[in-house]
A = this chain, B = another copy of it.
């Protein structure tokens, strides 16, 4: 893991970090390639890292420095990789969000990401360019405590499960449809993946292919995920979701899940039968292998919040020494009712910071921004908008434009801090005719405290509002509260949890509901804040915050080359 030539650097780095000698450099060499894979038995061109999707898991300890030298071996396609949940303190240029913090990485180029994982916890990485994440470019980051420190909960083994949904058409095909007039929706995924493996019902293809490899349930790529447990032992399962679209319910038949971590923060433990998890979220749950050990049990994922026709994602919890291929004798547990958002809201509200690990939020904020999430048509194209502004990427990444004062690189007019609170009926369809598109950004005073209220509303379909998991780069935020209906700016803030709010980087906004967040704008850089549904961001559902640009260090030339940063 640590080549000899870097061992010499370690004490120096450790010293510079101000931490103990345990801080190490963890170096990874990745090759990003196009390959055919059959994660759900159906053959598709995907993007792999070192031949795999999901890619290699990054395992490190708190305070370690991660160096990923990623070579783009795609043929004509660029890439960018985001380290989701890593705040990139001091390295805002390595956040990996194309158009925000860097230019895309060209084919043939090796890009060196280097950053410190400053907190323990469960994180993910994934492509952050176009809708490329959906092609399979994603993986996990697991940051343990330094040697000698321990978690505030006990477990015997640590296991990792990444959840995803999976489409058979390519991201280019999806993007063409989403950009078309008339709009062509991507539809529901063809299957759900548990740790990169799903099972598409090949016989459901209206016309089977004559090519036996095209959809083949005996393909080793799609052997269902199996988690082998020793009876009586307790497992920490690190569950992450990087779905393209779907909100999921994760469940292990007959086993309780004790939630202990969310997005890298300790949770005051609570028990669920099924864990609701949204794209971009990570959780640790404790599971005790305390059931009848003579049989195996289903591990399932189910789509909630959308009427999805497909079958659940399925894996198997195998009690050692049962045969791992032995299917459970039962039918998989039923999915929660897809359109009942109450249990999802209840879980959201149940997640509090663990006693002894509470970061108390500032009592008041310096600025309140309310983000109304709406769907609309703009020049005949279906878009998502925030306060009637549909986000577009500039050619020159914000971080570079801001640092080098390239004022023509993006719209210098900031988008609005709110909407027409008084008159906008969130339960009605609105044409939102005054919607515009813009790449303007929110400039935040450095070290100020910012409240963000995410307000959901009716889509362009009657009586319909969706779930949007919003993800903030470069920060964690306190989750102050959730509510149903329109946020009441006079009364709802009184109900904020300022005592033990959880800190997260990704949070759902429930149908017709609101979610209130607070964060300190204390990380110099330019940071994306967006719905983590890949197609929704593509359709404009995001904003950018910038703060403390004058404190940003010298930018590496490796992030340049596009827009106004072109040329010698």
User: Which residues of A are in contact with B by a Cβ distance under 8 Å?
Assistant: 34-36, 45, 74-79, 103-104, 106-109, 129-132, 170-173, 175-176, 206-210, 393, 395, 400, 404, 557-558, 560-563, 565-568
Give this chain's copy count.
2
Contact of A104 among B34, B76, B210 (CB under 8 A): B76
Bound together, the chains give a CA A34 to CA B79 distance in angstroms of 18
Point out the residues of chain B lying under 8 angstroms from A562, CB to CB. Answer: 106, 109, 561
Residue with the greatest number of chain B CB neighbours at <10 A, chosen from A106, A208, A395: A106
- Kindly provide the distance from the CB of A350 to the nearest chain B CB, expressed in whole angstroms: 39
Which residues of B are found within 8 Å of A107, using beta-carbon distances? 78, 104, 130
A45-B176, A104-B106, A129-B76 in contact; A557/B561 too (CB < 8 A)? no
Query: What are 11 pairs between A and B in contact, CB < 8 Å?
Result: A74-B172, A75-B175, A76-B129, A76-B171, A76-B172, A77-B77, A103-B566, A108-B395, A109-B562, A207-B208, A557-B566
Closest 10 CB pairs of A and B: A557-B567, A561-B561, A206-B210, A76-B130, A561-B566, A75-B130, A560-B567, A75-B175, A76-B77, A77-B77
- A45 to B170 Cα, complex, angstroms: 10
Check if A106 sits within 8 Å of B131, measured CB to CB.
Answer: no
Contacts of A173 in B (CB 8 A): 36, 45
Tell me the nearest residue of chain B to A109, going by C-beta: B395
Residues of B contacting A565 with CB < 8 Å?
Answer: 561, 567-568
CB distance from A404 to the nearest CB of B (A): 7
- Kindly report which residue of chain B lies nearest to residue A560, judged by CB atoms: B567
B131, A404: Cβ atoms closer than 8 Å: no
- Of all chain B residues, which has the CB nearest A175? B75
Q: Please, which residue of chain B has its CB at the minimum distance from the CB of A127? A: B76
Among A74, A131, A173, A404: residue with most chain B CB under 10 A? A74
Known interface pairs A76-B132, A207-B209; A35-B176 also in contact (CB < 8 Å) = yes
| Alpha-carbon gap, A395 to B111, bound state (A) | 13
